[in-house]
Structure 1
Amino acid sequence: MRVSLSRLPDDGVLVVDGDAGEHRLATVDLAEFVAEREVDRPRWVWDDTARWYPGLLAAGVRVERCHDLRLCHRLLRRAPAVDPSLLDGEQSALWDVLGPREATAPALFAVDEPSEHLRADVEDARQLAAVAASAEPSRLNLLLAAESSGALVAAEMTFAGVPWRAEVHDRLLTELLGPRPLRGMRPRLLEALAADVRQALQSPGLNPDSRPELLAALRRSGIEVDDTRASTLRAVPHPAIDVLLRYRQLAQLAATNGWAWSDEWVSDGRFRPVYQPAGSSTGRWSSNGGGALSLPTQVRAAAVADDGWRLVVADVAQLEPRALAGMSGDRALASSARGADLYQAMADDGAVASRTEAKLGLLGAMYGATSGESGRLVAGLTRRYPAAFGLVEDSARAGERGEVVRTLLGRGAPRLGETDDVDPDDPAVDPAGRARDRRAYGRFTRNFVVQGTGAEWALCWIADLRNRLWRLGGDGPLNERPHLVFFLHDEVVVHTPAALADEVVVEMEQAAATAAGLVFRDLAIDFPLTTSIVRSYADAGKAGRRSPDGDSTRT
């Protein structure tokens, strides 16, 4: 049962409710209507989850299922199995350019903006027809459902927030940087490090935050480098490098997760970032505010569960190699993927001499290593795992030919030159440059198929886990039950009453198994989790840890 919601210019909502037909609803009555209809478990169809769901959550309404038309339109436009002309029609040009809702958007409705008043039912009909006419409707339907569920997870995580102790964050910053400075000034300890950098490079007036000044100072000291990237600097044997890298690490912390960051993103004991599902072409998420996906280890100790609650942290071992085994149907590699350590299983199976060689060879295949030790191992492992290694090689060659590749469930890669200002096929582009672009695109497509399929498994995992946690928590609202508060590619964090922590671990593991069955069907692939039950996020993953109050880590 599908119920579509469309915003109207008169601050109303158009509801198209299956066989019941359509009717208009005042915006102020929306939450009550959704709560009443939710008992029938409909699939809510709307233009963008980020535009609708936060208001419902604020009103205490949680929905089980939705279809996010913005995310799904973008996905279907690129899906190789879909005829894109079936998505054309009324308002389709607006759907093509509809972007994610900005974190700073002042209101849910904008009466003077045409893209705010798109007909959800019309677009939904086009998308359903396009999927039905494709060669792979079942896989695409699974992908669209997972993508839309991910949007619900993202909105709920922003609403619930990561438990965050501002006083702990302040203490961590003070220990590392010095007391909070006046606006525009460096913290005391950071300024002392800046002085050490100036002395080490014999440049009294140097601003180490200025790339041109820093490059000039390095060259005056006899350090000939073309850039100031950390990887470049680490390769230079000079006594100034260690203090410079220390300064830059702490300067980055102050700029990205310092006091100003806390003022903006932490409130009422919660860090509330804004997630952007499918923020990358592979389907992986990005952050649209708050920098949640790059939270540095120096401040993770500030993420502390509420009293009587715990954080349950789970990450997946070797997600992308397991996804490669599953999508390629390589039964030899799949056999090694049935256990906690795929790399060790490859070595035990005699494919290579050691776990290190297995890792080097498999990662080399996924990232295009052709020389050195990785290249040698890739050649040998290709004979042992022809389907898996052949899949990534075929994807790379397809990319070099300018062809589109796809994930297991049907997400298509962006076309060669789609995001560039220059078309590589333009006769004006010199042949050498065209060849470089095609090789680069081949490296991208080689990894796209694996990373994207891994992202599909992860979406199915959190979609199932989200509903399992809801059923586990009794009758309370979202933030009184076990709930997801963080997701990063292959890692999730759940905030849960301490008494339910062990049950949450079981649900995490069962959801991982369910996701594997959904995505890879009849080919058995294990996705083992390393789980931690902790008070502070900083303590997650400390093997063998067991505190007096029962916190633990397990695999």
Structure 2
Amino acid sequence: MRWVVHADEGGAGRLAPLAEPAAGAEGAAGRPAVGEVRRVGDLAAAVRELEAADRPRWIWADTARIYPDLLRAGARVARCHDVVLVDEILAAREGSFGAPRTLGAAYARLHGLPVPDVGRLGSATEAAGAEGPQQAALFEPDDTGVPAQVDQFDALLEVYLAQQALLDAAAPPLRLLTAAESAGALAAAEMTYAGLPLDPAVHARNLAELLGPQPPHGGPGMRPAKLQDLADRLGEALGSPALNPDSPAQVLKALSLAGLPANTTRAWELRRMEHPGVPLLLEYKELSRLYTANGWAWLRAWVREGRFRPEYVVGGVVTGRWASRGGGALQLPAMVRRAVVADPGWTFVVADAGQLEPRVLAAISADRGLARAAQAEDLYTELGDVFGGDRAKAKLGLLGAMYGQTSGEVGPLLATLRRRFPAAIGLVDDAAKAGVEGRIVHTRLGRACPPPSTRWRRMVAGAEGESRADQVRASRGRFTRNFVVQGSAAEWALALIATLRGKLTDTASELVFFLHDEVVLHCPEEQAERVREAVSASAAEASRLVFGATPVRFPLHLATVRCYADAK
């Protein structure tokens, strides 16, 4: 059973069941039969009741908008179809990128109307200013650009039915992708709701040890004592006492005056230089980044009641990888992880899929030689035999093949890999060629890469010279080369999460963090072994769903720890 659901203001809403038409029904044309639309004053209560009775698939416009309110009201669901996420996948296959993620945008594309310039609204953690995420009112008005004369519920139903027709006509993997993307949206909202346990006192203590006491709140230009001391010593070492180390222009000028000309202030360039000021500058950059990204202001803004609750953006990267809106959830440094401590009587189960992308390459290319190597626990060590036992060369060559690094030492390594693993290297070579030629490539389940922009085509035509044309061609080739691998790896991770959610429904465990190829679960200590088994089983199921009967192994490093930092 499927239910279409639309949230109205004040906790109310409308629901209607969808049932497949009876065989041979006249006029059915394969379209599901729409039942009577029910108006309810308490949408969350209605969802709880129907979920408990039938576990239906919920069809709604935007999980990120509606599901957080349902979770706060105790209405957790197993399955959904997220119309705006599915619309984004389908629109991308038609070459449409960058439009707002809204029901109005989906409706406009369906009817050939101008897409309304309205962004995604109503998410409970959308507003993230100086005080961090703010809770929205229950089911805020859904101002998503649907024409005023069109009922929101009718627009939702019409877009959904059109999507089903497109998916029925597409290859089966695309339907799996849309189901996994929708399940990922549920998991993302649940992670924000649960929050990642983080002890603010531990984090504050760690900050003080590294940076010095917290400076007066709101003081302009104030730095913690140790950071200010570093800035002073750096200025003296470079002969520029008034130097502001936070200004790249000033730093470059000071380096030049000290006889150290540099093009950038990036760490890799600075490390080439020998000067007493360079270690000070590198240390300052590291601590300043920590202070800015995860300092006391971050702690005030994003940690509430011992939980870090960022908002995850499912499919926020064109490859299908997740992004985050505020809080830097996908870039948690080791120092922050030291403050991620499980509740008393609970523990973390951390699962890390090592060497995921090269294993994905082996699976999607069906290269027998690389697949045999990918049966090993350490793929790079296994490949080392190709390079006289040199694991480092094997890793450098394979990463070069996937990311398009072909110059210097990588060139000969890539030539060797091309001879030994022609199907695998041929797949990424073909993807790169397609990118250079302005064509579209797809992931394993059918996600499309962005088409070339108008400016790209103009530059390729020679508008800025032949040298620039070659550069932009090569750049797009590197992008499409990696897109097919990284995007397919993102699909494996999505399938892992979707499967894992289903296996943990009768436990107290919570999925609290996800980072590309790593998941973190928070569970009672007595359930840890069961959770570990569920994660391993879900990884195997994800491999079967996405890649079929592949011999490639996707081993997980599993750690049961009280502190997240101890998992590495």
What TM-score do the two structures reach when normalised by structure 2?
A: 0.88
1:177-256 map, 5 Å:
177-182=211-216, 183-184=218-219, 185-256=222-293
**Is 1:103 paired with 2:126?**
yes
Structure-to-structure mapping, 1:165-184, within 5 angstroms: 165-182=199-216, 183-184=218-219
Q: Are positions 1:5 and 2:5 aligned together?
A: yes
Contact 1:14 1:25 in 2 (8 A): yes
Query: What's 1:89 paired with?
Result: 110
Matched, 1:157 2:191: yes
- Preserved CA contact (<8 Å) 1:396 1:443: yes
Q: Secondary structure at the match of 1:470?
A: coil
SS where residue 274 of structure 2 aligns? coil
Q: Does residue 1:59 correspond to 2:73, yes or no? A: yes
Name the CA distance, whole Å, in 2 between partners of 1:506 and 1:241. Answer: 48
In structure 1, distance between residues paired with 2:540 and 2:404:
30
Alpha-carbon distance in structure 2 between the residues aligned to 1:115 and 1:171: 50
The 1:369–1:41 alpha-carbon spacing in structure 2 relative to 1, beyond 3 Å, is: same
Aligned twin of 1:317: 354
Distance 1:211 1:494 in 2: 40
Instruction: Give the direction of change, closer, same or farther, for the CA distance of 1:141–1:80 in structure 2 (3 Å limit).
Output: same
Q: 1:450 maps to which residue?
A: 485
Task: Check 1:283–1:92 CA distance in 2 against 1; reply closer, same or farther (3 A cut).
Answer: farther
Q: Could you tell me whether the CA contact under 8 Å between 2:57 and 2:79 is conserved in 1?
A: yes
Check 1:485–1:423 CA distance in 2 against 1; reply closer, same or farther (3 A cut): farther
Query: Of residues 390, 408, 415 in structure 2, which corresponds to 1:372?
Result: 408
Q: How much has 1:396 moved relative to structure 2?
A: 0.4
Contact kept? 2:92, 2:449, Cα under 8 Å: yes
Is the contact between residue 417 and residue 424 of structure 1 (CA under 8 Å) also seen in structure 2? no
Structure 2 CA distance for partners of 1:416 and 1:497, relative to 1, 3 Å: same
Residue 36 of structure 1: CA displacement?
Answer: 1.2
Residues 477-520 of structure 1 deviation map (CA, whole Å, 9 limit, x = unaligned):
xxxx1111000001110000011111111111111000000111
> Offset of 1:97 from its aligned partner?
6.5
Note the C-alpha offset of 1:404. 0.5
> How far 1:65 moved relative to its partner?
0.5
Structure 1 stretch displaced more, 514-523 or 105-114: 105-114
Q: Which amino acid aligns with 1:77?
A: A
The alpha-carbon deviation at position 351 of structure 1 amounts to 6.7
Give me the whole-angstrom Cα distance separating, in 2, the residues matched to 1:453 and 1:195: 48
Q: CA deviation at 1:339?
A: 2.7
1:404 aligns with 2:425: no
Kept in 1, the 8 Å contact 2:387–2:393? The answer is no
CA contact (8 A) 1:284 1:452 kept: yes
Cα offsets for 1:311-354 (capped at 9, x unmatched): 11110111000110111111221111113111222235x57533
Tell me the CA shift for residue 35 of structure 1. Answer: 0.8
The answer (yes or no) to whether the contact 1:67–1:148 under 8 Å persists in 2 is: yes
Q: Deviations over 1:429-462 (max 9, x none)?
A: 4333222111100010000100000000010011
Q: Which of 520, 525, 549 is the aligned partner of 1:498? A: 525
Tell me the equivalent position of 2:306. 269
In structure 2, what is the equivalent of residue 550 of structure 1? none
- Structure 2 vs 1, CA of residues 15 and 96 (structure 1 numbering), >3 Å: closer, same or farther? farther
How far residue 99 of structure 1 moved from its aligned partner, in angstroms, is 3.7
User: Which residue in the other structure is 2:500 paired with?
Assistant: 465
- 1:159 aligned partner, one-letter code: Y
- 1:440 aligned to which of 472, 475, 486: 475
Match of 2:558 in 1: 531
Q: 1:37 — aligned with what?
A: 50
Residues 18-33 of structure 1: matches in 2 within 5 Å? 18-19=18-19, 21-26=35-40, 28-33=41-46
Change (3 A) 1:411 1:87: farther
Deviation at 1:16, TM superposition (A): 2.6
Residue 465 of structure 1 aligns to a residue in which SS? helix
Q: How far apart, in 1, do the equivalents of 2:215 and 2:15 lie?
A: 53
Q: CA RMSD in A?
A: 2.5
> How far 1:109 moved relative to its partner?
2.1
- Matching of residues 305-344 of structure 1 within 5 Å: 305-344=342-381
Tell me the SS of whatever aligns to 2:55. coil
* 1:5 aligned counterpart, secondary structure: strand
On the 8 A contact 2:348/2:521 being kept in 1, the answer is: yes
SS at 2:557 equivalent: strand
CA distance in 2, matches of 1:130, 1:256: 43
Q: Distance in 2 between matches of 1:133 and 1:86?
A: 20
Letter in 2 for 1:485: V
Give the secondary-structure state (helix, strand or coil) at the position aligned to 2:173.
helix
Q: Look up the equivalent residue of 2:18 and give its one-letter code.
A: G
> Any idea what the Cα deviations from partners look like across 1:195-215, whole Å, max 9, x if unmatched?
111111111111111122222
Instruction: Give me the whole-angstrom Cα distance separating, in 1, the residues matched to 2:498 and 2:288.
Output: 37
Amino acid across the alignment from 1:450? V
Return the letter of the residue paired with 2:312. Answer: Y
Residues 311, 535 of structure 1: 8 Å contact kept: yes
CA distance in 2, matches of 1:70, 1:359: 39
- Cα offsets for 1:395-418 (capped at 9, x unmatched): 001100000111011000011227
Distance of 1:97 and 1:31 partners within structure 2: 26
Equivalent residue, structure 1, for 2:335? 298
Gaps of 5+ in 2: 20-33, 97-105, 128-133
Question: 1: distance between equivalents of 2:456 and 2:416?
Answer: 39
Structure 2 CA distance, aligned partners of 1:416 and 1:123? Answer: 27
Alignment partner, residue 513 of structure 1:
540
- Closer, same or farther in 2 for the Cα pair 1:463/1:111, shift >3 Å? closer
Q: Deviations along 1:349-368, whole A, 9 cap, x unmatched?
A: x5753322221221111112
Q: Distance in 2 between matches of 1:508 and 1:112?
A: 39
User: Is the 1:313–1:493 Cα contact (8 Å) retained in structure 2?
Assistant: yes
Distance 1:427 1:13, change over 3 A: farther
Task: Give, in angstroms, the shift of residue 194 of structure 1.
Answer: 0.9
Deviation at 1:2, TM superposition (A): 2.0
Is contact 2:12–2:43 with CA below 8 Å preserved after alignment?
no
Q: CA deviation at 1:22?
A: 3.5
The answer to whether the aligner puts 1:283 opposite 2:320 as a matched pair is yes
Secondary structure of 1:89's aligned partner: helix
Return closer, same or farther for 1:219/1:200 CA change in 2, 3 Å cut-off. same
1:492 and 1:220 mapped to 2: Cα distance? 48
Percent of residue pairs bearing the same amino acid type: 47
Residues 533 and 362 of structure 1, relative CA distance in 2, 3 Å threshold:
same
Q: Distance in 1 between matches of 2:274 and 2:550?
A: 50
Question: Whole-Å Cα distance in 1 between the matches of residues 521 and 500 of structure 2?
Answer: 10
In 2: Cα distance, 1:93 partner to 1:4 partner: 26
Within 2, Cα distance between the matches of 1:381 and 1:220?
46
Please give the residue correspondences for 1:474-493 in structure 2 after superposition, counting only pairs within 5 Å. 481-493=508-520
Question: Which of 124, 130, 136 is residue 160 of structure 2 equivalent to?
Answer: 124
